[in-house]
Structure 1
Amino acid sequence: MVRIYRFSGVRPVKEAAPEIAAVPYDVVTANEAKAIIAQNPKSFLRVSRPDAELPGIPPHDDRVYQRAREMFLLLEREGLLKKDPEPGMYLYRAQQNGDTFLGLCCCLDVDDYRNNKIRRHELTRYDKEEDRTRHIEAVRAHNGPVVLLYRDDAGLFSFIESQVARTQPPVADVWTEQGALHQIFRIADPGVLAELEQRFAAVPALYIADGHHRAKASVNLADKILASGNQPGDEVCRFMGVIFAHNRVKIHGYSRLLTDLDPYTPDTFLKKLGEHYTVRPYAAVDGSVYNITPAITDPEKYHVVHLYLRGTWYECTRPRETGPETPNTLDVAVLQKHVLEGMLGITDPRGDARLQYLGGARPVSDLEKLVDDGTYRLAFAMQPVKVETVLSIADAGGIMPPKSTWFEPKLLSGLVVHSFD
């Protein structure tokens, strides 16, 4: 079934963890990372976003990846990162907005990815795969965890949760600017580690929630070494993940924003939209919420999307198809087919500059501001997809439309690193 492995993590010494911990590499631009590093030279972004400190050098130049390696070694030489002497596993706990998320940090097998025991629901892009493959190869470490889910059918989460009290105190405590607390606990007890390995051996599959490119890059590196005629070591054939119970995470909708309505005016757009959805004005929205509650009775029977245009919210509904949910029957797919493509001619939702996205735990007021200040003409706020839907689509080998899900929690980089040097 699923194989998990112990590893000797490279971790910040406890007092340095708040400075080293960094947001994931792919949620900031090079300029944003440069500004963070200027304020905090110990930030792990120096490893994960080395291009931020190399202006004028192409982002995929060999010197960029070499810089990542140098910064990683510098943190070790300065005594800010140290490797645990014995293999173990780690608990990653995040507390934010009244929610507590707890996952198990361990290593996973690239063969389980190849054999579809580690399942995915998202297409990867070659350029991003290549970037992370080269980064992992240069640094000789997996420094960003892949977030995965398991179906918690046998009380596995309860056993994992019980280890928090046994492994106190945490080896890292980090408060983010948003008021979230991220903690790492180390599991070193051989008996507990063996039981975790045994329990996960009964889990039929894991599901990637976040980090599809990091996982595929790890497989690519192992394949590259094999293709060269060499045998990759065990550690190269593994990658670091944090595994959460499927019913212990949150999914938020991924909003769509449009720069223009051509060839429509707001009035003609609403009229044409009425051919595909029932469109009704929606009452005032609490700007602090992340997801808008549908006003319609029995919303599970409808595709529901909320439109913000000219200072007014509208609820757009369309009867849902009968039968099991597939990628083509998701709300985002229906909106893409009938409105973004059918009405506005946006055939490439990944690349069309007229269409932008705002994901995750962002209040509705952020959408209103972006439309009210003229940055965008309108916004579509999407309902979150059920986690069971994501898992079922992955089980069937399906691929979700672009920007369908935003999983919480988002994990910090640099708190635990899997090094295979």
Structure 2
Amino acid sequence: MATILPFRAVRPTRDKVSLLAARSYDSYTPAQVESRLRDNPFSFLHIINPGYKYQKEIEGEERYTLVRNRYQEFKEDGIFIQDEKASLYIYKIVNRDGLEFNGLVAAASAQDYESDVIKKHEDTLEYKETIFVKYLKTVGFNAEPVLLTYPDHDELANLIESVMQDRAEYEFTTTYRDTHYMWKVDDAVLVKRITAIFGEMETLYIADGHHRSSSSYLLAKELQSENNAHTGKEAYNYFMSYLIPESDLKIYEFNRLVKDLNGLTKEEFLIKLDALFRIENRGQEYYKPSKKHHFSMYLDGAFYSLYLRKNNYSIETALDALDAQILYKTILRPILGIEDLRNDHRIEYSHGKNDLAYVKTAVDRGDFKVGFGLVPVDTEELKQIANEGLKMPPKSTYIEPKLRSGVTIYEF
């Protein structure tokens, strides 16, 4: 059964939260990072990019120490405060497309990660885990929650809705036109009931944040081995998570772009595709697939529809039925020669919010030779793959909501 706990969040004062909250660092262009660091002294980017203070790029453990120093300075300057009582935090996002996400920020259990109560659907890279464990051990906090999802639960939804009738502790709109709300829940009876509801759930699923959760688990094991008085109740046994019901999860596809045809001519490539797909030239029509096992392809100024010939493809597991896996097993690996989807520089990915116009433009510009469009994964597919202990290919899902870093911080 799942374990979640309230915690004493470190968080910005109400007047500064909109200035401090930041997207994931990788989502900014260098120009955007520069402007925010130059013009906003309260941005969380100052903490995670501490070298800006010295106009110097700093990496490795020296950077981690400086991150910790900048964080402590924000606390010393009163930009951050820490709640006196352990609390749960109800968090609502209304994005620019009108989608609404209602969830709960809490501490999730590293033991649940180990015992597969928290299920995974993506592989992690060992070198990234090693780097992130060192980072976490030095800085001593989580600033961006792992996104977990749980089965819809009427009582829990009603409890969350009742809290949201009061004025939010935070309410701010970002330059992306997403509006964020947060309510602190420290009433002992309500906290006890919410944690008890999660205690009745057999499984939680990681929607986004596989490296963050795996690294937090590995750190917990490392700190446990170093602590002769380990009890299991230490803060390092948990990691910060944002838990939302499955019905709130929004999953977009990742389209694929490939730089060459692996030495094939256009005609030779199409003939090889014909063995496994029914192909139709759609010309300039923007063809976006609407069914599983249907794909769009943009090649040499034209869109094509590709329908899998199922009599020539064997489906034995949930992973075999995943469109990203089908594309890999039928086209990317055997025809285009792409074995390593994570590290081959000939392939790049574009999430579905960019749409097929992005794919067309990239190919027409000559940056890529061919692009493929997929249907988004649904929640049931994600769960089935996780339940079977299988892992999706990289960049199979682009999942919303995306939380801001620094709104709640979990110290360990």
Asked if Structure 1 and Structure 2 have the same fold, meaning a TM-score greater than 0.5 normalized by the shorter chain, the answer is yes
Alignment partner, residue 336 of structure 1: 328
Does the aligned pair in 2 maintain the 1:255–1:359 contact within 8 Å? yes
* Cα gap change, 1:347 to 1:189, in 2 (>3 Å): same
Which of 352, 369, 382 does residue 344 from structure 2 map onto?
352
CA deviation vs aligned residue, 1:12-31 (integer Å, no higher than 9, x gap): 11121111111123434777
After superposition, residues 2-401 of structure 1 pair within 5 angstroms as 2-28=2-28, 33-50=33-50, 59=59, 61-96=60-95, 97-152=97-152, 155-165=155-165, 168-232=166-230, 234-282=234-282, 292-294=288-290, 299-300=291-292, 303-320=293-310, 325-401=317-393
Instruction: Name the SS of the counterpart of 1:255 in structure 2.
Output: strand
Does the aligned pair in 2 maintain the 1:104–1:242 contact within 8 Å? yes
Q: Distance in 1 between matches of 2:206 and 2:52?
A: 28
In the TM superposition, what is the alpha-carbon distance from 1:93 to its structure 2 partner?
Answer: 1.1
Alignment partner, residue 410 of structure 2: 418
Q: Distance in 2 between matches of 1:54 and 1:260?
A: 42
In the TM superposition, what is the alpha-carbon distance from 1:53 to its structure 2 partner?
Answer: 6.5
Instruction: Name the SS of the counterpart of 1:327 in structure 2.
Output: coil
In the TM superposition, what is the alpha-carbon distance from 1:353 to its structure 2 partner?
Answer: 0.4
Does the aligned pair in 1 maintain the 2:262–2:337 contact within 8 Å? no
- The residue type equivalent to 1:130 in the other structure is T
In the TM superposition, what is the alpha-carbon distance from 1:178 to its structure 2 partner?
Answer: 2.5
Instruction: Name the SS of the counterpart of 1:224 in structure 2.
Output: helix
Q: Distance in 2 between matches of 1:56 and 1:40?
A: 18
Does the aligned pair in 1 maintain the 2:256–2:348 contact within 8 Å? yes
In the TM superposition, what is the alpha-carbon distance from 1:125 to its structure 2 partner?
Answer: 1.0
In the TM superposition, what is the alpha-carbon distance from 1:44 to its structure 2 partner?
Answer: 1.2
* Cα gap change, 1:355 to 1:188, in 2 (>3 Å): same
Does the aligned pair in 1 maintain the 2:289–2:305 contact within 8 Å? no
CA deviation vs aligned residue, 1:198-225 (integer Å, no higher than 9, x gap): 1111111111111111111111111112
In the TM superposition, what is the alpha-carbon distance from 1:50 to its structure 2 partner?
Answer: 4.4
171-180 vs 389-398, which moves further: 171-180
- The residue type equivalent to 1:180 in the other structure is D
Q: Distance in 2 between matches of 1:58 and 1:127?
A: 19
Does the aligned pair in 1 maintain the 2:143–2:409 contact within 8 Å? yes
Does the aligned pair in 2 maintain the 1:34–1:53 contact within 8 Å? no
TM-score, normalised with respect to structure 1: 0.90
Instruction: Name the SS of the counterpart of 1:329 in structure 2.
Output: coil
In structure 1, runs of 5+ residues without a counterpart are none
CA deviation vs aligned residue, 1:218-249 (integer Å, no higher than 9, x gap): 11111112222434562111111000111211
Instruction: Name the SS of the counterpart of 1:362 in structure 2.
Output: helix
Identity level (%): 29
In the TM superposition, what is the alpha-carbon distance from 1:124 to its structure 2 partner?
Answer: 1.0
* Cα gap change, 1:226 to 1:72, in 2 (>3 Å): same
TM-score, normalised with respect to structure 2: 0.91
In the TM superposition, what is the alpha-carbon distance from 1:179 to its structure 2 partner?
Answer: 1.5
In the TM superposition, what is the alpha-carbon distance from 1:39 to its structure 2 partner?
Answer: 3.7
Q: Distance in 2 between matches of 1:416 and 1:366?
A: 34
In the TM superposition, what is the alpha-carbon distance from 1:278 to its structure 2 partner?
Answer: 1.1
In the TM superposition, what is the alpha-carbon distance from 1:357 to its structure 2 partner?
Answer: 0.8
Q: Distance in 2 between matches of 1:30 and 1:51?
A: 14
Does the aligned pair in 1 maintain the 2:315–2:321 contact within 8 Å? no
Does the aligned pair in 2 maintain the 1:33–1:52 contact within 8 Å? no
Q: Distance in 1 between matches of 2:212 and 2:125?
A: 11
Q: Distance in 2 between matches of 1:372 and 1:53?
A: 42
Q: Distance in 2 between matches of 1:177 and 1:27?
A: 14
* Cα gap change, 1:224 to 1:384, in 2 (>3 Å): same
- The residue type equivalent to 1:141 in the other structure is F
- The residue type equivalent to 2:129 in the other structure is E
In the TM superposition, what is the alpha-carbon distance from 1:38 to its structure 2 partner?
Answer: 2.9
> How many aligned positions are there?
407
- The residue type equivalent to 2:213 in the other structure is A
Q: Distance in 1 between matches of 2:87 and 2:208?
A: 23
Instruction: Name the SS of the counterpart of 1:160 in structure 2.
Output: helix
- The residue type equivalent to 1:171 in the other structure is E
Q: Distance in 1 between matches of 2:336 and 2:261?
A: 7
Instruction: Name the SS of the counterpart of 1:236 in structure 2.
Output: helix
